[in-house]
Structure 1
């Protein structure tokens, strides 16, 4: 629960700030994706409000690499999650250095909303069963959050991300400046990000299939291991500590 609460608060604040930049200011990047490369020049000045967003996000993903390895619960997709954090941090640092910050803000906006809804859903799953009773309000919020998360993942990451961000970086960038530097490097990383989005969408599809076929009756995270599943250590053998602070339950 503390892990999800921290991620929810950060994602909500980060996405709200990105939404303000793209929808509440004069930046036209969301409604006009090709504009991310209008007047682009090497070494151009980075606006302070965008630089603040980069500092915030870069700090988070630098910490997230450490947290995934040593703090967070280890899940079935933790290796992919670690790769995602590394790719994102490399994109943040390199895009800032090469002054592709306009694209960076757009990419962050299209991705963070799903994290907000995911952690909101997980928090309500944890809250609905507490004190020995079922809290119906949290159960309803978890169900609504799950539906909203699934829709947002498809719409923002699998539809708008290729339509807006990838279109701008792969096509519009060459039209604005045919000799634009690091073209293949940045597009390769963004395509890797799109592939990971598709990988996690398969978890969403698998979850929906299990719910519709009755294999699952309560919302749960399919990525999480059941601590009762792994067998205990052999008799007389010292118990090895698990990664990320997990504790093995003793089997009776």
Structure 2
């Protein structure tokens, strides 16, 4: 079974064998076993991220004025807390009626308690800032290091160099480490996917990380390293601006800086991922590569993964386009990819709208309508006006 996986026709063009790859020096040839080095590096990234978020991100957040919002805690209720932890955060109508008989509360009190409890579990601003700061730090270092590794390579300037003498192309050690660090970073994101902040595009993020890990792993084993380094560098360029815009957005008094970064991010994102990526990268792998070899299994598999990434680029471009009108009109309050549990209606209800909590009771907090909107007062006003008109006509 394992021998079938490494059949030459899956990984190499027609007429090329694994023995031909032995012409490269051991230090210049990518071996599949090299990918195992990404696992301890991924654990190292998890540890480094913990240290960064614990000791480096808080002082950075204080400098930018990041503050956590005050949240009203839900009243202690062991039965409701047990249901919340074991069965779900959003009870159905039948669950609400069952909890009413268990806790001795009415329907409105049960629903309000769950609103408060969900609001209590939302990620705080400092946690959001720490996550954005960590990603900004990595993407900035990765982009600078990747640019330094590629600026003097021939395939950085001429895309046909990506396929010259493919697949017998020597691998430099700096490109090996560039690959391993990028692969380890995305593996670390998958390891922490369950504890990171969940946003509306959570499923798309998981697909993106998995596609990236498969893309990096396969391209390394098949010696697609030259085109792979260009893909990584192109993606890191926009991610730097995205995470920096988030950092200033979570702070206070940085609206203009955040707006400028958002404009730059939008321009770089659309230029790099909707223009350069399909017209240069995908065109290189689909068309220019056929000048060096005939299509084989690896050719199709590699391009399918690139197409998956391009589909995600289009999805996120739609989200950005939905934000642009709000940005120009000054009504952009939050990211379209905001937290999955961040519900504006709940925030209004909890922070001063329909409900207020005192002790163990949740009571409605209705606001009286202004007298000018009263139907009785309006009728009296209209009747008085009609009497005055009649008197004027009589005179």
Same fold (TM over 0.5): yes
Q: Quote the Cα distance in structure 1 between the aligned partners of 2:343 and 2:201.
A: 19
Q: Which of 240, 243, 250 is 1:119 aligned to? A: 243
Deviations 1:157-201 (A, max 9, x none): 111111211011001111111255511100011011011001100
Deviations 1:214-244 (A, max 9, x none): 5x244x2111136344769xxxxxxxxxxxx
Q: Which runs of 5+ in 1 are unaligned?
A: 130-134, 233-250
1:86-97 counterparts in 2 under 5 A?
Answer: 86-97=210-221
Q: Which of 298, 303, 317 is 1:182 aligned to? A: 298
Q: Quote the Cα distance in structure 2 between the aligned partners of 1:179 and 1:193.
A: 21
Q: Quote the Cα distance in structure 2 between the aligned partners of 1:160 and 1:228.
A: 36
Q: Which of 107, 113, 130 is 1:2 aligned to? A: 130
**Paired residue secondary structure (1:29):** helix
Q: Which of 313, 331, 337 is 1:223 aligned to? A: 337
Tell me if structure 2 keeps the 8 A contact 1:5–1:123. Answer: yes
**Paired residue secondary structure (2:192):** helix
Q: Quote the Cα distance in structure 2 between the aligned partners of 1:63 and 1:15.
A: 18
Tell me if structure 2 keeps the 8 A contact 1:174–1:180. Answer: no
Matched, 1:145 2:272: no
Change (3 A) 1:60 1:206: same
Deviation at 1:34, TM superposition (A): 1.8
Change (3 A) 1:179 1:150: closer
Q: Which of 155, 170, 181 is 1:56 aligned to? A: 181
Change (3 A) 1:196 1:16: same
Q: Which of 284, 305, 323 is 1:207 aligned to? A: 323
TM-score of the two chains, using structure 2 as the length reference: 0.53
Q: Which of 149, 158, 180 is 2:274 aligned to? A: 158
Deviation at 1:87, TM superposition (A): 0.1
Q: Quote the Cα distance in structure 1 between the aligned partners of 2:185 and 2:290.
A: 31
Which one has the largest radius of gyration? 2
Q: Quote the Cα distance in structure 2 between the aligned partners of 1:199 and 1:84.
A: 11
TM-score of the two chains, using structure 1 as the length reference: 0.81
Q: Which of 159, 163, 176 is 1:37 aligned to? A: 163
Q: Quote the Cα distance in structure 2 between the aligned partners of 1:205 and 1:5.
A: 25
Tell me if structure 1 keeps the 8 A contact 2:323–2:332. Answer: no
Q: Quote the Cα distance in structure 1 between the aligned partners of 2:167 and 2:332.
A: 55
Q: Quote the Cα distance in structure 1 between the aligned partners of 2:219 and 2:204.
A: 22
Tell me if structure 2 keeps the 8 A contact 1:173–1:180. Answer: no
Q: Quote the Cα distance in structure 1 between the aligned partners of 2:218 and 2:160.
A: 20
Q: Which of 201, 209, 212 is 1:77 aligned to? A: 201
**Paired residue secondary structure (1:223):** coil
